[in-house]
Amino acid sequence: MDKIEVGDIFTLFDENDEEQDIEVLGTLSVEGNEYVAVGFVEELEQQTEEDVDIFFLRVEEGEELSEIVSDEEFAKVSMAFEGVTSSK
């Protein structure tokens, strides 16, 4: 798989085994690990003023995406992404 880029779309399966398309909104390296910020394509396509749910995934070897399970890791990644977006 090629390097994950902003705008890439992936299909995930939720707990009910239903497909959910997600779009990569940003990428960032934190403490030597690569992460992506993603949102649900369906929510991103809607033209509303409501907040869009954004979540973070770790990029593993082979460019596979995995959940962040520790609260500590999530906090570090979330703060790093906030720092990047607030400095723009």
**Each residue of 9-23: pLDDT tens digit?**
999 887 899 999 999
| Average pLDDT of the residues in 54-74 | 91
What's residue 15's pLDDT? 83
Domain assignment of residue 64, given as a range? 9-86
Residue 66 within a domain: yes
User: In sequence order, what are the residues at sequence separation of 6 or more whose Cβ sits closer than 8 angstroms to the Cβ of residue 8?
Assistant: 23, 24
**pLDDT digit string (tens) for 25-59?**
999 999 999 999 999 998 888 866 677 788 999 99
Residue 49 within a domain: yes
User: In sequence order, what are the residues at sequence separation of 6 or more whose Cβ sits closer than 8 angstroms to the Cβ of residue 30?
Assistant: 76, 77, 80
**Alpha-carbon torsion 10, 6, 4, 28, what sign?**
negative
Residue 37 within a domain: yes
Whole-structure pTM value? 0.81
What's residue 33's pLDDT? 93
Residue 59 within a domain: yes
When divided into structural domains, the chain yields a total of 1
